[in-house]
Amino acid sequence: MIISFKHLLTLTSVFFGIWAAGHTILNKRNPRGAALWLVIIILLPLAGSFLYWVLGINRIHRRAQARARKKRGAVCRVYSSECIVQDLPGDGRFKTLNLLATRATRRPLLAGNSVEPLFDGNETFPAMLESIGGAKKSVTLSTYIFDRDAVGIRVVDSLCAAAERGIQVRVLVDGLGTSRSALKMASRLRDAGAKVSVFHPLPGLPFRRPSINMRNHRKILVIDGKLGFTGGINISGRHFFSKQWEKELVRDIHFRITGPVVEGMQDVFAEDWYASAGEVLEGDVFFSKPHEKADAYARAVASGPDENFEKIYEIIIGAVHAAGETVTIVTPYFIPDRPLVQALRSAVLTGVEVRIFLPARSDHTVVTWASNAHLSELLDSGISIFWTAPPFVHSKLMIIDGFWSLIGSANIDPRSFRLNFEFDIEVYNRDLAEKLTDYTDGLKKEAILLNSDMLLARPLYKRLCEGVARMFAPYL
């Protein structure tokens, strides 16, 4: 019997539809995400199964699980017992949070760190360039965006100069965040002796790289294994406030860090570098056991769709539950899931003041719609929400009770928690929390305090768009 092409196509569609639906039911943790994938698979025969194969399967997490089974029993990097924090001051709430983070990340809380805020590119880029220029052994840089503009070219010049004088330079950029035109700067770096790798470069055909939905969003710069920079600032002139800059500006905050936690930063970079370039970074050139006589307790927190799945999310939930006085969140993209919404509402019910700072106008319209769909419930719960004035505030930070802070690259959205590779640092230090609170107080002076009437006054079509966007929140 000869099977017609139409029948063959139907059988193929049914086969792959059953496979995709079964895989979704067995592997998706988020019920709403699983339901949406099932709808796509059913409504788009064959095409829906292909989209699920390309975007829906976390192959990185599965490969990481296989590696973890092979190296079960292995321990993370060994730190000096003098650096490990044995007991936290204060009541048991932060001691419980510390225990949660220690077990979730398998990294200890380390004493003897210094964490200095750098505001916008005007403070960040000069500090980074000076540090690169003073490097003695190595420079490792990971960034999501590396623009080919005046700032990007200046950073490349500095990296090339370091490589030409014999410094070991490693640069890791994301294949989606960094444009193809900017990647042309890689040839200059390689000619100077630096090594460059692209994290998941975009392929010509999707089936050649089925993890295109997972990006490296981390921002890490480490000099000689002793001095680190991290936060939310990419290598882009958008962060540098200048009269000559005509594009839309972005406000952000970065951090200069010294002390034992820098070794954790380098450790995370080394893992990413090995996964992308296949080179093992080790020895005194890259890891120098930094010691600093400073008073900040800090921990490196890596999160991504691998063995570190949802680690930052787990710590954020734990921090909200640990709060006794105040919770302050600053984020450019805010799409909370039900557990986080409920944790914030519960905090208010116990007398905690919760403040959330969001940009009045985002650079991603659909994400803004999905975010706005959650605001009415939060306002009704007694949470204060501030819309920050332009320019666009890209800062990402969280402060609890004027003592604990979370800083780094992660936004408060499903993409940061479940798809992107992110890097944060949690810090137990009142001086840093006070500086960050001063920063948020400055934002508050120019911000709009949102209320329910303002949300209801928006046109009906916008509210409908927000409701639809909320349905697709797991994919934004």
Contact between 118 and 254 (Cβ < 8 Å)? yes
Contact between 273 and 199 (Cβ < 8 Å)? no
Catalytic residue among 120, 147, 174, 224: 224
Nearest-10 crossing angle of helices 311-322, 338-349 = 10
Name beta bridge partners: 310.
none
Q: Is 217 a catalytic site residue?
A: yes
Give 192's contacts (C-beta < 8 A, 6+ positions apart).
159, 160, 161, 163, 164, 169
Residue 341 CB neighbour total at 10 angstroms: 15
Contact between 347 and 320 (Cβ < 8 Å)? yes
Q: Is 91 a catalytic site residue?
A: no
Q: Are strands 326-330 and 296-303 parallel, antiparallel or unpaired?
A: unpaired
Catalytic residue among 61, 200, 219, 226: 219
E strands, 334-435, are 353-359, 384-388, 392-393, 397-400, 404-408, 422-428
Catalytic residue among 28, 226, 254, 396: 396
Closest CA to 328 of 362, 357, 297, 360: 357
Q: Is 219 a catalytic site residue?
A: yes
Residue 364 CB neighbour total at 10 angstroms: 12
Catalytic residue among 226, 337, 394, 413: 394
Angle at 177 between CA 31 and CA 142, to 5 degrees: 100
**Distance separating alpha carbons of residues 271 and 47, to the nearest angstrom:** 35
Which is it for the CA torsion 139, 144, 146, 151, positive or negative? Answer: negative
Catalytic residue among 252, 401, 413, 424: 401
- Report the run of H or E that residue 311 belongs to, with start and end: helix 311-322
Name beta bridge partners: 221.
141, 229
What are the catalytic residues? 217, 219, 224, 394, 396, 401
